[in-house]
Amino acid sequence: MTESNKLPSGQTRIDSLEMLNITKRFPGVLASDHVNFDVKSGEVHALLGENGAGKSTLMKILYGLYHPDEGEILLNDKPVSIASPNDSIGLGIGMIHQHFMLVPTLTVAENVALGLPSTRGFMTDLDQVSKRILELAKIYSLKIDPDAYIWQLSVGQQQRVEIIKALYRGAALLILDEPTAVLTPQEVDELFVIMRQMVKDGHGLIFISHKLHEVVEISNRVTVLRDGRKIGTRPTSEVTKQDLANWMVGREVGFIPDRGVVDRGEARLELNNISCSSDRGTPGLRGVTLEVCSGEILGIAGVSGNGQRELAEVIAGLRKAASGQVVLEGQDVTGLPPAARADRMLSYIPEERMRDGVIREFTVAENMVLREHEKRPYSRAGFLNLGKISRHADELIKRFHVKTPSRDTLAKNLSGGNIQKVVLAREISRAPRVVIAAQPTRGLDIGATEYVREQLLEQRRNGVAIMLISEDLDEILALSDRIAVLYEGRVMDIVPREHATPEKLGLLMAGVHLEESVSVVK
Amino acid sequence: MRQRLETLFDALLPVIATLAALAVGAVMLLFLKVNPLEAYAALLKGAFGSFNSFAETLVKATPLLLVALGICISFRGDVINIGGEGQMIVGAILATWIGLTFTDAPGWLIITLALLAGFLGGAVWGGIPGALKAYFNVNEILSTVMMNAIAVQLMNFLLRGPMIDPSQAEVASKIPQTARLLDAFQLERLAPTRLHMGALIAVVLAVLVYILLWRTTLGYRIRAVGQNPHASRYAGIKVPRYVVTALLLSGAFAGLAGAIQVYGVNYRMITDGSASGFTGSAGFNGIVAALFGQLHPLWSIPASVLFGALLVGANSMQRMVQVPSALITVLNGLVVIFVVSSEIWRRRRQRRRLVVGEEEAPPKPDKSQVQTGEAQK
């Protein structure tokens, strides 16, 4: 029976791997709450969950990047300790990261050999590495040229290099962290062919994704995580997309603030068929058409990375639209720079407030005038009016309840919630006509979250047109008048608040059209 | 408490670095069988021992301060200007050309025009690498250094050919120098020493640079872009424009330093083939002075005086305790290396503190901020 213990690559099979009672705390967050998870040889086990559900934390623990506070890991029923990626690689666990760890200017063989001792001491053994790569490529039917440079390869091919790299290092069990996020549909199909081959040969695969159709297509079993807790593990054949969507997002809608009745006014922000690329050069938005009206909050729901960032940046003028128009109060502003759009009273609360919202080494007062410093009364003929700037800061600190020792405190010394209040104060106090709020409450405590939401509703009552981009469905449901769901850069649908349910939105967020879902329910 | 200690440590770092450099220098002196205490006493005496020697210290400090002012601007804008040498040379060439061409004009006019020309020449020489960085992402450290090489060759060419002193052109020796400026064009002396108006101009400019950086929208933007280009861009600031401006202004002050060297000290340009032959390495030492002054224009004043003293004192040390002149260069270089490395180390430490703070709580990066916020109170 020793033969059957071996994988085609020569590596010993991992018959089973179990993670028991894994608990990991970060300051203020329980990222993984007594989670059990297991993989067997010859299966694809999908790990499904929203952002922040604890998928990555769990896998980073398995790969040795984090250490669990509680729990143990059993490999072939024996406890093992994994203190670093070196340990996990030694045990036959490999990980394909979402962002590839390859050196573009080196060849495939050089990348595979990188970090490994050469069999020839100080001399390289690239010819042997190449031979072995071709061997592995043949066994797993991966087409790859060991002498090609990484920069010459497509994203799908680079991913294959990562897989080869893991196999070369003796991986019997592979963790694939959102491997399809960067791939085209054709490349996804090719990847699935490779994955099926590996499973047939006895590898165990962990497939992390939040795309339901992919999970249903490729996995044997599926585990759903939510808020760091395991919701359940089922054989994929026994669940529907609807079930999975429910598990993934199905929490009770929380406290709903008093929204008041506001009449929807004229359209203030219109997007006509906007397309643009993402930072990676892949399509970020594909023909988005939306409008936001006075006195309305338009919620943008979606799993992160489906075009939310691009949407906000295109509107703010920070990202070029490849086609389509951005119209602010009837005026086409597509070609205008960010400052000109801001002058038309467009305000923007950016997603990454530490990076894009404030200057950490500037004082609170200086940050409060980041947008308006060149305007009167804050400056005159190029000279700053420090008195006015200070008074303005004091006023806003009071009005927005910013907790800071003084206006001259550096922004970096404020808490996250108070930094967000500084950004909010700056963007809202200028009496905007349109506000783009991207993940405005992410990472804030309950008090600050309530405050930010209340401020957005207040703006809505004042007739401001607000676009609220959030991954928090509760927030979207609580605040929005209409909800647009983004999926792979497209608007899946726009649902009026009255007709929106978490289940419905969950399906849309996972790329399932509502007509389709009806047939699933049947 | 710990944070306050660290701030204090950061502030004292340049002083610690200088002392460390002097300690290493002391070891070298011991190898040369010279008593380091005696040598350093000679250094002090040479720099501050008499009215005349102190004036000489200030003369040396003047170009350092001017270059340092430019460095304050560029480093605050997060652009590293290593091209002070070249910018000084180009500024000096333009200023000299003005003085040698328009010999009929009144002195005050020529001096004004010449200093302006120096300012502009340096601005161009700094602006080119600035534009390359802002629009083509060319590393400014490399490009400014390369611009130095071009400036030196330009100077050598001009002083051997088109701008050579007519009297030298006729004789066989052909010393590569320009003609001497008319007496009317020379900057006024402040005392019966070599101290000239340039020192006063530099101090006034230090105040103006302070105002520029902290009282004007231009300075606000340069600092904003230097601290966080992302947030600046999000706030509607045209980031590349201020990258260029920072390097351009930095070059301008170095160019002015070059012009003032000609009009206040040498009254002509002369080359030994190297850049330092003309600049006395002020283009580099100015960086050290600025870093020593915590990139603050006003603190750069005492910092420049200190380094001026080091230069003058080193000369007297050479005379009094008979150390080879090369050691003086070494000592100077040691201080530069120690201060610059300590600055880089300080920044890296700061970044690491920042990164560690962010990574402690990956799912919610803001939590670490809550903690530092509380630690502050």
Strand A267-277 relative to strand A283-293, pairing: antiparallel
Candidate from A52, A383, A412 with C-beta closest to B215: A383
Q: Who among A348, A374, A415 is closest to B369 (CB)?
A: A415
Q: How near does any CA of chain B get to the CA of A323, in Å?
A: 22
**What is the CB neighbour count within 10 angstroms for residue B295?**
19
Cβ of B236 and A371 within 8 Å? yes
> Token pair of B27, please?
């070891």
Of B224, B364, B376, the CB nearest to A29: B364
Query: Which one of B214, B231, B369 has the shortest CB-CB distance to A355?
Result: B231
Closest CA–CA distance from residue B236 to any residue of chain A (Å): 4
CA distance B360 to chain A (A): 7
Site from A359, A380, A420, A452 to mutate, B interface, most B CB atoms within 10 angstroms: A359
Question: What beta strand segments (E) does chain B contain?
Answer: none
- In chain A, which among 329-368 make CB contacts under 8 A with chain B? 337-339, 342, 348, 350, 352, 354-362, 366
In degrees and rounded to multiples of 5, residue B20 shows phi and psi of -60, -40
Task: Tell me the HSE value of A290 on the side-chain side, using a 13 A CA sphere.
Answer: 33
Cβ <8 Å between A414 and B373: yes
Domain boundaries, chain B: 1-34+325-377, 51-322
Place of tokens 């004192």: B313
Cβ-proximal residues to A477 (8 Å cutoff; 6+ apart), any chain? A253, A256, A299, A483, A497, A500, A502, A505
Quick check: A363 and B220 in contact, CB under 8 A? no
Per residue, what are the HEC states of A458-469? HHHHCCCEEEEE
Average pLDDT of adjacent 10-residue blocks, chain B of 377 residues: 75 86 91 89 90 94 97 96 96 96 92 97 97 96 96 95 87 88 91 91 97 96 95 94 97 98 94 89 91 91 91 86 80 81 79 46 35 35
CB A73 within 8 Å of CB A80: yes
Beta bridge partners of A485: A301, A493
Within 8 A of B75 by CB-CB distance, chain A residues are none
CB-nearest to B361 from A29, A361, A409 is A29
Pair A357, A419: CB distance under 8 Å: yes
φ and ψ of A281, to 5 deg:
90, -5
How many interface pairs between A and B have CB atoms less than 8 angstroms apart? 126
- Give me the residues of B, 227-256, that contact A with CB < 8 A: 227-228, 230-238
CA nearest to A348 within chain B: B234
How much of chain A is helix, strand and coil, in % rounded to 5?
Answer: 35, 25, 40
Beta-carbon contacts of residue B158 (< 8 Å; ≥ 6 apart): B93
In the block, tokens 């071709």 appear at A134
The pair of structure tokens assigned to B319 is: 């005379």
A150 contact partners, CB below 8 Å, separation of at least 6: A102, A103, A104, A105, A106, A107, A108, A111, A158, A161
Partners of residue A495 on adjacent β-strands: A483
Q: If contacts are CB pairs under 8 Å, which of residues 356-375 in chain B contact chain A?
A: 358, 360-374
Local structure of A22: helix, strand or coil: strand
> Is B238 close to A339, i.e. CB distance below 8 A?
yes
Q: Minimal Cα–Cα distance from A404 to chain B, Å?
A: 9
Output the CA angle B303-B306-B311, nearest 5 degrees: 130
Residue with structure tokens 């809202």?
A428
Q: Looking at the partner chain, which of B220, B362, B374 has a beta carbon nearest the beta carbon of A26?
A: B362
The two tokens of residue A183 are 């791939």
Q: Which residue of B216, B223, B234, B374 is the best one to mutate when testing the A interface, meaning the one whose CB has the most A CBs within 10 A?
A: B234
Min Cα separation A420/chain B (Å): 10
Contact A374 B224 (CB under 8 A): no
- Whether residue B234 and residue A350 make contact (CB cut-off 8 A), yes or no, is yes
Q: What is the pLDDT of residue A184?
A: 67
Query: Three-class SS string for B158-214?
Result: HHHCCCCCHHHHHCCCCCCECCCCCHHHCCCECCCCCCEHHHHHHHHHHHHHHHHHH
CA of A414: which chain B residue's CA is closest? B373
Specify burial of residue A45 (Cβ count, 10 A radius: 0-12, 13-18, 19+): buried
CA nearest A313: which of A349, A340, A280, A287?
A349
- Identify the DSSP state of A252: P
A344 to chain B, minimum CA–CA distance in Å?
A: 12
Domains in chain A, please, with CATH? 3-248 (3.40.50.300), 255-345+435-522 (3.40.50.300), 349-430 (no CATH)
- Residue A516 corresponds to which tokens in the numbers above? 């389709």
A355 contacts in chain B (CB < 8 Å): 228, 230-231
| A78/chain B closest Cα distance in angstroms | 30
Q: What is the pLDDT of residue A62?
A: 93
Nearest to A356 among B218, B230, B363 (CB): B230
Query: E strands within A261-333?
Result: 267-277, 283-293, 297-301, 323-328, 331-332
Count of beta carbons in the 10 Å neighbourhood of residue B161: 10
CA distance B136 to chain A (A): 18
Report whether B132 contacts B143 (CB < 8 A): yes
Q: Give which of A313, A331, A300, A357 is closest to A433, Cα–Cα.
A: A331
Chain B CB contacts of A358 below 8 Å: 228, 231
Beta-carbon-side half-sphere exposure of residue A98 (alpha carbons within 13 Å): 14
Give chain A's end-to-end CA distance (angstroms, integer).
47
- Residue A451 corresponds to which amino acid? Y
A229 inside 8 A of chain B by CB: no
- Contact check, Cβ <8 Å, A371/B235: yes
Q: A356, B231: Cβ pair inside 8 Å?
A: yes
Q: Write the single-letter amino acid at A304.
A: S
Strand order in the sheet with A323-328: A283-293, A267-277, A323-328, A331-332
Strand partners, A298: A467, A482
* Cβ distance of B369 and A419 shorter than 8 Å: yes
In whole angstroms, give the CA distance from residue B193 to residue B196: 8
Tokens read off for A371:
């947008």
Best to test chain A binding among B221, B369, B371, B377 (most A CBs inside 10 Å): B369
User: From the list A31, A342, A414, which residue is nearest B236 (CB)?
Assistant: A342
CA B85, CA A21: separation in Å to the nearest integer?
Answer: 65
Which positions in chain A touch B358 (Cβ < 8 Å)?
Answer: 354
Instruction: Report the alpha-carbon distance of residue B186 to residue B51 in Å, rounded.
Output: 22
> Three-state SS for B33?
coil
> In Å, how far is A493's CA from the nearest CA of chain B?
29
Å from B237 to nearest chain A CA? 7
Q: Which residues, 6+ apart, have CB-to-CB distance to A234 below 8 Å?
A: A221, A222, A243
Q: Which residues does chain A have within 8 Å of residue B214's beta carbon, measured at their own beta carbons?
A: 384
Using CA atoms, how far apart are residues A425 and A369, in angstroms rounded to an integer? 10
Q: How far apart are CA A15 and CA A42, in angstroms?
A: 8
Question: Rounded to whole angstroms, how far apart are CA atoms B288 and B54?
Answer: 20
Q: Under 8 Å CB-to-CB from A458, ≥6 apart: which residues?
A: none
d(CA A497, CA A297): 10
Distance CA B77, CA A169 (A): 46
Contact A405 B376 (CB under 8 A): yes
Nearest CA of chain B to the CA of A287: how many Å?
24
Residues of A in contact with B77 (CB under 8 A): none
Encode A148-176 in three state secondary structure. Answer: CEHHHCCHHHHHHHHHHHHHHCCCCEEEE
Strand pairing of A331-332 and A490-496? unpaired
CB A114 within 8 A of CB A168: no
Task: Please indicate whether, in this complex, the C-beta atoms of B231 and A359 are within 8 angstroms of each other.
Answer: yes
By three-state DSSP, how is residue A395 classified?
Answer: helix
Separation in Å, CA of B226 to nearest CA in chain A: 10
Do B366 and A419 make contact, defined as CB atoms within 8 angstroms? yes
Question: What residues contact A419, with CB distance under 8 A and at least 6 apart?
Answer: A353, A354, A357, A358, A411, B366, B369
Q: Is the peptide bond before A377 cis (omega within 30 degrees of 0)?
A: yes
Question: Is A373 near chain B, with CB under 8 Å?
Answer: yes
- Three-point CA angle A397, A402, A406, nearest 5°: 65
Question: What's the CA gap between B319 and B304, in Å, rounded?
Answer: 23
Contact B367 A384 (CB under 8 A): no
Q: Which residues pair with residue A226 across a beta bridge? A: A229
Q: Report the gap between the CA of A369 and the closest CA in chain B (Å).
A: 9
Cβ of A362 within 8 Å of Cβ of B227? The answer is: yes
Check residue B153 and give its pLDDT: 96
Contact across the interface for B216 and A417, Cβ inside 8 Å: no
Task: Write out chain A's pLDDT in tens, 522 residues.
Answer: 344 678 887 788 889 999 999 998 876 668 888 999 999 999 999 998 876 678 888 999 999 988 899 999 999 999 999 988 889 988 999 999 877 889 988 999 999 988 787 777 777 788 889 999 999 988 888 888 899 999 888 878 889 999 999 999 889 999 998 888 767 667 788 899 999 999 998 999 999 987 778 888 999 999 998 888 898 899 999 988 777 877 876 644 344 566 777 778 899 999 999 999 988 788 899 999 999 999 999 999 987 778 999 999 999 999 999 999 999 999 999 999 999 999 999 999 998 888 899 999 999 999 999 999 999 899 999 999 999 999 999 999 999 988 888 999 999 888 778 899 999 999 999 999 999 999 998 767 666 777 889 899 999 999 999 999 998 787 898 899 999 999 989 999 999 988 888 778 888 887 887 765 554 443
Quickly list DSSP for B294-353.
TT-TTTHHHHHHHHHHHHHHHHHHHHHH---HHHHHHHHHHHHHHHHHHHHHHHHHHHHH
CATH class of B51-322: mainly alpha
pLDDT at A270: 95
- For residue A352, the chain B residue with the least C-alpha distance is B231
